[in-house]
């Protein structure tokens, strides 16, 4: 904690296998230089959870010399081996097991995980989010047990938006989860999956919740250059900067709405960041 407050680096969607090496080297140097109080990585560490991708992710993450918590994304569980996916979905990230959905306690601030991935879903598209009653219950129990005066940021992979731009459920039971988090007055929900940064006040029946998304550090770009979020909590307010190698201003980086997936916008009406750095061809999904 500095005299300014508690500083967090919120990284997401590094997608080892298609990672942006230059961007990652820059982030590593910024972590070494600024020594944030914690690094929160909100999932999609690999492309297809291949052993070599998880090995590279594990090496990079375990070399960080600050407290780290990571969420599991839809790209992080075995993709080509259904037996392993069902029976031992976390086996490939044994090297970072202690960091997975780890609660972090910082002065006056807690990072509380909420799982949004499942090894299977009763629908065709398993890449989307799903909040189970058990996962929500675990998260709420941790929030309810925090010492009085401790504020919380909840870390997820999928934004807790139930209905996306195209009317499909991005995260099943996300609205209910968000309403419960509003009742507990969380500072915000940190997410990934979308590959563009955002900072949106999402209304719920119990008041608005701040949904904060980090961009990607991979070559799977949507409408912004590679970036991460730097958060500063001074005990009264939380400021968010979408930092990027090109020094594009934060507001030009942030989209105003949550798209249903991380693919570049191709049809009218899809959320596009003001910087409009949309790749001309869709990034590879391999």
Residues 12-31 that bind Fe ion (CB under 5 A): 13
Does residue 193 bind Fe ion (CB under 5 A)? yes
CB of 76 to Fe ion, least distance (A): 9
CB of 86 to Fe ion, least distance (A): 20
| Torsion of the alpha carbons at 284, 286, 45 and 139, rounded to the nearest 10 | 100
Cα–Cα nearest to 69, from 112, 116, 115, 102: 102
CB of 6 to Fe ion, least distance (A): 27
User: What is the C-alpha separation between 232 and 168, in angstroms, rounded?
Assistant: 33
CB of 192 to Fe ion, least distance (A): 6
132, 121 Cβ separation under 8 angstroms: no
User: What is the C-alpha separation between 39 and 37, in angstroms, rounded?
Assistant: 7
Does residue 74 bind Fe ion (CB under 5 A)? yes
DSSP string covering 117-132: --S--SSS-TTSEE--
Does residue 230 bind Fe ion (CB under 5 A)? no
Does residue 244 bind Fe ion (CB under 5 A)? no
Question: Residues 134-173: x/- map of binding to Fe ion (CB under 5 A)?
Answer: ----------------------------------------
3-class SS at 247? coil
> Taking the chain, what is the end-to-end CA distance rounded to the nearest angstrom?
40
Stretch of 1-9, 11-19, 129-137, 203-211 contacting Fe ion, by CB under 5 A: 11-19
Stretch of 51-59, 132-140, 159-167, 188-196 contacting Fe ion, by CB under 5 A: 188-196
CB of 174 to Fe ion, least distance (A): 14
Token representation of residue 85: 């996916």
Q: Which residue, 7 or 195, is less far from Fe ion as judged by CB?
A: 195
Does residue 264 bind Fe ion (CB under 5 A)? no
Among 17, 73, 226, 265, binds Fe ion (CB under 5 A): 73
Chain residues in the site for Fe ion (CB under 5 A): 13, 44, 73-74, 193
């Amino acid at each position: 904690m500095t005299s300014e407050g508690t500083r967090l680096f919120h990284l997401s969607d590094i997608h080892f296998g298609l990672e942006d090496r230059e961007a990652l080297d820059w982030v590593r140097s910024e972590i070494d230089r600024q020594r944030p109080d914690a690094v929160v990585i909100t999932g999609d560490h690999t492309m297809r959870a291949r052993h070599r991708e998880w090995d590279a992710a594990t090496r990079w993450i375990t070399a960080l010399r600050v407290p780290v918590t990571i969420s599991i994304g839809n790209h992080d569980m075995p993709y080509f081996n259904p037996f392993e996916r069902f029976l031992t979905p976390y086996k490939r990230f044994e090297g970072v097991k202690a960091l997975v959905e780890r609660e972090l306690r910082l002065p006056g601030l807690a990072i509380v995980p909420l799982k949004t991935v499942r090894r299977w879903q009763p629908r065709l598209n398993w890449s989307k989010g799903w909040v189970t009653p058990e996962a929500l219950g675990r998260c709420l129990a941790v929030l309810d047990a925090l010492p009085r005066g401790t504020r919380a940021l909840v870390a997820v992979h999928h934004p807790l938006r139930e209905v996306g731009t195209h009317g499909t459920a991005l995260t099943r039971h996300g609205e209910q989860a968000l309403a419960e988090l509003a009742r507990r007055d969380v500072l915000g929900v940190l997410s990934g999956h979308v590959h563009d940064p955002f900072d949106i006040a999402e209304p719920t029946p119990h008041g608005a919740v701040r949904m904060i998304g980090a961009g990607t550090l991979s070559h799977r770009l949507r409408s912004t250059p590679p970036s991460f979020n730097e958060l500063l909590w001074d005990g009264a307010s939380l400021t968010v900067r979408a930092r990027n190698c090109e020094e594009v201003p934060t507001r030009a980086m942030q989209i105003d709405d949550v798209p249903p997936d991380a693919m570049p916008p191709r049809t009218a009406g899809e959320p596009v960041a003001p910087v409009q750095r949309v790749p001309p061809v869709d990034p590879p999904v391999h």
